[in-house]
Amino acid sequence: MAENLIEVKNLKKYFDMEAGTVKAIDDITFTIKENEVFGLVGESGSGKSTTGKVLMGIHPPTEGEISFREHDISISSSGRAKAIKRDMNMVFQDPGGSLNPTKTVLDIVGLPLRIHDMVDGKKEMAKEVYQLLNTVDLDPERFMYRRPNDLGQGEKQAVAIARAIATDPSFVVLDEPTSALDVSIQAKIMNILIDLQDEYNMSYLFITHDLGLMRNIADRVAIMYLGRFFEVADSHVFFETPLHPYTKVLLGSFPTTTKEEEKLKPDLKARGEIPSAMDLPSGCRFHTRCPFKEEKCLETEPELVEVQEDHFVACHLVNGVDDVEYDVEEVEQEEKEFEYDIEGIEMKT
């Protein structure tokens, strides 16, 4: 059994705004194992990107604990030990925004090597960068002395990945790393990421709203909604036998490629829009959209409970906290009256 690389306990991240407090992360507990791809999926505003940034120390937590190989890192990046900063890195959604437009690819990819004293002089740095560019499938002869504005989106993201792996980290946060790219380039970048994880024995926190990508890469998956985890399971369990109504809703909107997959696909839709993280619903925060909600769901927030080995769910219906049962006929009737597009969160009728 792999050791835990990262342990997160009762993590909260609140942002105080003029209009009120945004509870971006509202008490989550999880682990990421050595050499594991932990997938985090959810709609916009669920708190998944904030989770990645808090793990990286870009935002300090409001409450809770984060440890990295048993070292406490529940602080912002500036307070962390240099050896730990070298061992963690992040790839952002917008590759262009994360690269300094005035620097060459050599300088950008070489910067972490210089910061962490991993090279002795420019010549050695160039040699390392040359190899890193080869690793991410960029021809060093062509790209080493170019600047970000001379690169395509996929090439920029490959440079960002080369920079992220330059210090040979154990852990990388991948925050929607392909969502800004053309579909044709997405597959190439995903293949690079999958190969690198294997070659470098890294752990990833892979953040996406794209369930297709998640299925290809994640060992375990957590689904997040308004700052909380609703379901955590091994990837095959998550996709084949989901238990939380919200997971079923998202999987129901996921395009399938075979008849077998289509048969397994849950036929369920959510109502309405995701509420504001500044004004959370009482009880279960999904109750405003859940087709199965009962009176108790409006009053009591369900805890994330292990319902089967390594399968955690936060729902009264599944947790046995009360005797709520699926009433499919009633749901079907209600669905005739309401049809919503979960992807665009847009009412159709």
By CB under 6 A, name the one of 5, 324, 340, 342 that touches ligand SF4. Answer: 324
Is residue 239 near ligand SF4 by the rule CB under 6 A? no
Applying CB under 6 A, among 286, 304, 312, 340 the residue interacting with ligand SF4 is 286
| Residue 316 binds ligand SF4, judged by CB under 6 A | yes
User: What is the closest distance, in whole angstroms, from the C-beta atom of residue 277 to ligand SF4 in the complex?
Assistant: 17
Contacts of 69 (CB under 8 A, 6+ apart): 5, 170
Question: For 61, phi and psi rounded to 5 degrees?
Answer: -70, 155
3-state secondary structure (DSSP) of residue 338? coil
**Nearest residue (CB) to ligand SF4, 15 versus 338:** 338
Contact 52, 164 (CB under 8 A): no
Phi, psi angles (nearest 5°) of residue 240: -100, -35
Name, in order, each residue with C-beta under 8 angstroms of 131's C-beta and a sequence gap of 6 or more: none
* One residue of 292, 304, 312, 342 binding ligand SF4 per CB under 6 A: 292
**Does position 302 bind ligand SF4 by CB under 6 A?**
yes
Give yes or no for residue 290 binding ligand SF4 (CB under 6 A).
Answer: yes
Single residue of 73, 158, 297, 342 touching ligand SF4 by CB under 6 A:
297
180 interacts with ligand SF4 by CB under 6 A: no
SS3 31: strand
Near ligand SF4 by CB under 6 A, which window of 31-39, 90-98, 195-203, 282-290? 282-290
From the centroid of its chain, how far is CA 134? 27
Which residue, 88 or 226, is less far from ligand SF4 as judged by CB?
226
Distance CA 314, CA 325 (A): 15
Residue 284 binding ligand SF4, by CB under 6 A? yes
Output the smallest distance, CB 330 to ligand SF4, in A. 13
Counting DSSP H helices and E strands in the chain, the numbers are: 14, 14
* CB of residue 220 to ligand SF4, shortest distance in Å: 21
Q: At its nearest, how many Å lie between ligand SF4 and the CB of residue 284?
A: 3
Among 95, 287, 304, 342, interactor with ligand SF4 by CB under 6 A: 287
In whole angstroms, give the CA distance from residue 106 to residue 313.
46
What is each CA distance from 248 to 15, 103, 202, 242, 314, in whole angstroms? 30, 46, 30, 6, 13
**Closest to 338 in 3D by CA, of 292, 291, 305, 275:** 291
For position 245 contacting ligand SF4 by CB under 6 A, the verdict is yes
Out of 41, 207, 249, 317, name the contact with ligand SF4 by CB under 6 A: 317
Binding-site ranges for ligand SF4 (CB under 6 A) = 245, 284, 286-287, 290, 292-293, 297, 302, 315-317, 324
